[in-house]
Amino acid sequence: MISAIEKKDLPLLREMAMQTFRETFGAFIKEADLEYFYTHDLALETLEKEWENPESAHYFVLHEGQPVGFLKVNWGDAQTEHELEDAFEIQRLYILQSHQGYGLGKALFEFALEQAVAGQFTWAWLGVWEKNFKAQNFYFKYGFERFSEHEYVTGDTVDIDWLLKKRIREEK
């Protein structure tokens, strides 16, 4: 089940974001850089501003009634990049490591694509770490293709994210 994140849920979202980010990238990023990311990019005040943006939406995916993953999507000015016209960004999609392999990430991703289609956007796009081959292959299976890249900065750590896109409707 997928449910919209309410303002009162933001502390839980923050904890889950910190945990999933550590599980996903902790072996590749210095501890000081992780802490910087947590206190700046994932600060409760930052998450509140993102949540209040009318061009973003946040969701939990539930397993046995408990949140075990989350999704953040953006459109309009809320997008992190503006290389595509009439686009819908899937910015964050994370599942707790303990709940991976149950199809929850797939369900959340398909939900995001449904939101993009319902919003009548031309493009869906996302960024994925250049070394996350499992995720890249997942997105490629859905017909996404690489169109650009950008730097993803975590403290002093600079990684490259590939930007992937998929046309979801003909241009307006």
What's this model's pTM, rounded to 2 decimal places? Answer: 0.93
28-47 tens-digit pLDDT: 999 999 999 999 999 999 99
Write out the CATH class of domain 2-167: alpha beta
Residues 132-137 have a mean pLDDT of: 93
Check whether 8 has a pLDDT greater than 60.
yes
Spell out a b/e string for 98-108, using b for 16 or more CB atoms within 10 Å of the CB, else e: ebbeeebbebb
73-107 tens-digit pLDDT: 999 999 999 999 999 999 999 999 999 999 999 99
pLDDT of residue 49: 98
Check whether 169 has a pLDDT greater than 90.
no
Per domain, the residue ranges of the chain are 2-167
Q: State the DSSP string of 69-123.
A: EEEEEEEGGGSS---SSSEEEEEEEEE-GGGTTSSHHHHHHHHHHHHHHHTT-SE
